[in-house]
A and B are shown apart, each in its own frame.
Chain A
Amino acid sequence: AQSVTQLDSQVPVFEEAPVELRCNYSSSVSVYLFWYVQYPNQGLQLLLKYLSGSTLVKGINGFEAEFNKSQTSFHLRKPSVHISDTAEYFCAVTLVGGYQKVTFGTGTKLQVIP
C-alpha cells in the first residue's frame, strides 16, 4: 500500500518570499503524484501532477514540483508567494495501473503574511 507524508502542518511565509512545501511518499511500485489546493470553504482543485517524463512539473498559479525517485519526494515550490496563495495544500499519491485509490496527505496550511 502507498502512503504520503506532509511533515509541515503549517508554513508561514512573508509575501513575495519563496516557499517550499514538503511531501514524501512510500511505495514499492511506480506511482503517480499530485498536489491539490483547497481555499477556505471550497473543494480541492488540482495544482499539478506527475505521471511520467520530466521530473520537473509546472502547474497553475506559478507553482512547480520536482519528482525525486531516490528521495521519494515531491516537494512543491513557488519563487514568490502572494496573499492569494493562502490555502491548504494536499499532496496525494496513487499506484500506477488500473484503478488505484488516491491517498491524500494530511495537508499543509500556507499562511502568507503581508
Chain B
Amino acid sequence: DAGVIQSPRHEVTEMGQEVTLRCKPISGHNSLFWYRQTMMRGLELLIYFNNNVPIDDSGMPEDRFSAKMPNASFSTLKIQPSEPRDSAVYFCASSSRAGGGETQYFGPGTRLLVL
C-alpha cells in the first residue's frame, strides 16, 4: 500500500492567495483527519470526516478554512485568503474507523509558507 498521499509537499504563496491542499487516504479507510503542526501550538486537529461526512470541525480556525471530501479517496483543505499566520505543516491522516483505539496513519505533510 502506498500509504496516505499528500500534495503538494511544499507550498509557498503570498498573503491573500488561495491555497488548496490535497489528500488521498489509504484505500478502505473510512475516517480522515486534517491536522496542523506549528512550533507554538503543536499538533492540532482541524477537522475529521467519517464516510466522507464531516463529523467534527471544531478545530477549524476560522471561515477562511474549508475542507471537503467528495469521495472516499480524496479530500481537500482550502485556505482563502491565506495569511502569514497560516504557515505550518499540514498533515492528513486516515484510519479504518474513528475511535476504538484505531491507529491513525499520517501522510508526509504539506509544508506551507505564506509570505
Contacts and interface: CB of A to CB of B under 8 A. Distances in A.
Given A43-B91, A44-B91, A106 B48 contact: no
A107 B106 CA distance: 16
Interface residues of A, number: 24
A45 interface: yes
Interface in A19-72: 32, 34, 36, 41-46, 49, 51
B99 A99 contact: yes
A106 B55 CA distance: 25
Contacts of B42: 104-107
A99 B43 contact: no
A114 interface: no
B61 to A, nearest CB: 16
A102 B104 contact: yes
A32 B103 contact: no
The binding surface of chain A is classed by DSSP as: loop
Contacts of A101: 45, 48, 56
B50 interface: yes
Contact of B106 (A41, A45, A100, A106): A45
A20 B14 CA distance: 43
Interface string A67-92: 00000000000000000000000100
Contact of A42 (B98, B104, B108): B108
A101 B50 CA distance: 12
Contacts of B103: 34, 46, 49
A43 B108 contact: yes
A32 B91 contact: no
A27 to B, nearest CB: 14
A111 interface: no
A90 B43 contact: yes
Contacts of A44: 43, 91, 93, 104, 106
Interface of A: 32, 34, 36, 41-46, 49, 51, 90, 94, 96-102, 104-107
Given A43-B106, A107-B42, 5 more contacts: A44-B43, A44-B104, A99-B55, A99-B98, A101-B56
